[in-house]
Every structure is written in C-alpha cells, then in structure tokens.
Amino acid sequence: MPTVVSGIRSTGNLHLGNYFGAVKNFIEMQHHHDTYFFIADLHSLTTHPVPQHLYGNVKQVLAEYLACGIDPEKATVFIQSDVPEVSELYLLMNMNAYLGELERTTSFKDKARQQPDNVNAGLLTYPVLMAADIIIHKANLVPVGKDQEQNLEMSRTFARRFNRMYNVELFPIPRPYVFEGQDMVKIPGLDGSGKMGKSEGNAISLADAPSVIRKKVMKAVTDSGPTEPNQQKPEVIQNLFTLLDVVSTPDVVAHFDLEYNQCSIRYGDLKKQLAEDIVKFTDPIRLRIEALLADDVYLSKVAKLGAEKARASASKTLQEVREVIGVKKFY
C-alpha cells in the first residue's frame, strides 16, 4: 500500500488554500493508503513565533485538521516536534544538501526578502527538514498545493542523492499527489493577485465567522467589467471564478460565466453568491473546530496516539539510515 505524508505549518489558521490545495486530497486518501498527517511546528520556528502563541497555534491547527474530516483512527495524525527522529534525520540529510541549491530555492529567496533581519539557517535548510518529514516514513505520495512543488522537488533530489551516495534503495522517490487529470492546485487570494496565504492577509480561514467571510469577499478586488463579449478574464476576475469553482455548483459557475461573456455581469451578485457558498462550505467545519477546541482530553489523546505511531515508523527508518551511513554504537 502506498505511503502518504503531508503537513502544514502551525503559523495560523487553516484557510481555503490549505483545504483545497492539500487537505481535501488527503482526506480521500486516508481510506486507501497508509497516511501520515502532521503539524509542522518546528518549521514555524523559522519566523520566530512568540513562545506563548506556539502551543495555542498547534492546538488550533490540530482541531482544524480533525474538523476537516481527517480521521485519527485511519490516519496517523501527529505533531512534528513529538517525533525527535525527524530532527536527527534532518541533521544527517543536511550533510548532503548544498548551499548553492538551497540558496536558489524560491521560497528561501521570498522569505529572505520578507524578513531581511531574520535570514536564519533554518530558513535556508527548510527544504531539508521537509524532506526528512517525508522520507522518514518512506512516503511515495505527498498531497501538496502548487506552491510546494519546488520544495517537493528538493525532497526528491535529496532522497535520490542519498540512495545514490550509499548505493542503496532505501528511500522511495516521493511524488506530488493530485487526482487524475488535475494540475497541482493554486487557490488565489482575495487581493487580485498571487496565492491565498496565511501571511498575505488575503485568506479566508475555515474558522472565520460568516459575517467576517461576507465582509472579506465583498471587499475582494475586481475591475470595471468586461467591455467585449467572450473576452478573456483578467487575473483579478479569474481568481473569483477559481474560488467559485471550488465552492459552488457547476450551474452557478456556468451562470456567472455566461453573464461575464455577455457583458451583463454584476460583480456584486457574484460576490454575494460566492460568500454564501463559502459560508455553506466552512460553517459546519467552523462549528466542529469550536467543539474540538473545547475538548482538550480528546485532542491530547489524538496527539499521543499519533506520536506513538509516527515514532514507531520513524525510528525504524532512522535506524536503517544510521546503519547505511555507518553511525554505529560501540556498546
């Protein structure tokens, strides 16, 4: 059975991009695969979160994951820092990751630009930790959104390099997972360009109240409207249609598409419909998040069970890696 690993940073609430880019796919996969889903709290340290916030963020994301439908009885759900074997593999893999390739990573260059006063080594070696997360469970498939394509390509490089260096077939080469016939997903933000992101201020969170969602959607950037029938949609408008595509029914999308093509579209109507369809989708999840957040006993039970299962798998691989490298005990 193929093994699947995916994760999410604990830097903020889960948003629609996270859901449709990654979580949705792995919810479906948990029924037929050996699945590991985790909260990357160590990765989030690259941005220096306040210690008091870190724990709360992890708890929030854990509740959100479960509220989406990830079933801890089927999948192994855990917190990255509960599995110290990952940190050791990260250290070992760092020895075969080269400065030039790490510096060229787009996400590193972006982050270095965003936080010029905090260009730390953790940011540089972020893809190595991500590779360790994935290969420690010998994953074959990784459901991620388009923005993680390059990081995943680096995981493939590191896995391949390790196998080649030591002339072993220890690690499968992990592939990004998308449903057949689909491309990797990129959910746009509400600000007219780029992707929906936690730090971009353009996201709709699964935990947002309906009134907040309505306000955010009504403020989404548009243009002055089509001037010719059947003209191509500019990015700002295409973005709204992309969101409509994931939350609305095909006939709703077709209706607004036709109105756009006939130049009779009223963006206010489109936004109202989009907001209601998002609310219809997120509201049951939001209510489940609230219930889960109030159940500390259940959350800690899930985290403990997940940590045990993840450690069992991780320590087995780590032992094999140590032997291959030649790190052996004298006692």
Rounded least distance, CB 225 to ligand TYM, Å: 26
Nearer to ligand TYM, 33 or 195 (CB): 195
Round to whole Å and give the CA distance between 77 and 37: 5
Closest C-alpha to 76, from 301, 310, 313? 310
Residue 265 or 277 having the CB closest to ligand TYM: 277
User: Annotated catalytic, 215?
Assistant: no
Cα distances from 193 to residues 16, 71, 188, 236, in angstroms, run 16, 34, 7, 6
Phi and psi at 174, nearest 5°, equal -75, 140
Nearer to ligand TYM, 140 or 265 (CB): 140
Q: Which positions touch ligand TYM (CB under 6 A)?
A: 5-9, 17-18, 21-22, 40, 43, 130, 133-134, 142, 144-148, 151, 185-187, 195-197
**Toward ligand TYM, which CB reaches closer, 29 or 134?**
134
- What does the alpha-carbon distance between residue 138 and residue 147 come to, in Å, rounded to a whole number? 22
Of 148, 147, 170, the C-alpha closest to 159 is 170
User: Longest Cα pair distance anywhere in the chain, in angstroms?
Assistant: 79
- Whether 138 sits among the annotated catalytic residues: the reply is no
Of 24, 198, 233, 309, catalytic: 198
195 is catalytic: yes
Q: Three-class SS of residue 194?
A: coil
CB of 133 to ligand TYM, least distance (A): 4
Minimum distance from CB of 38 to ligand TYM (Å)?
Answer: 7
Q: In what order do the strands lie in the sheet with 175-176?
A: 76-79, 34-40, 3-9, 141-142, 175-176
At its nearest, how many Å lie between ligand TYM and the CB of residue 188? Answer: 7
> In the bound complex, which residue of the shown chain has the CB atom lying closest to ligand TYM?
21
Active site residues: 111, 195, 198
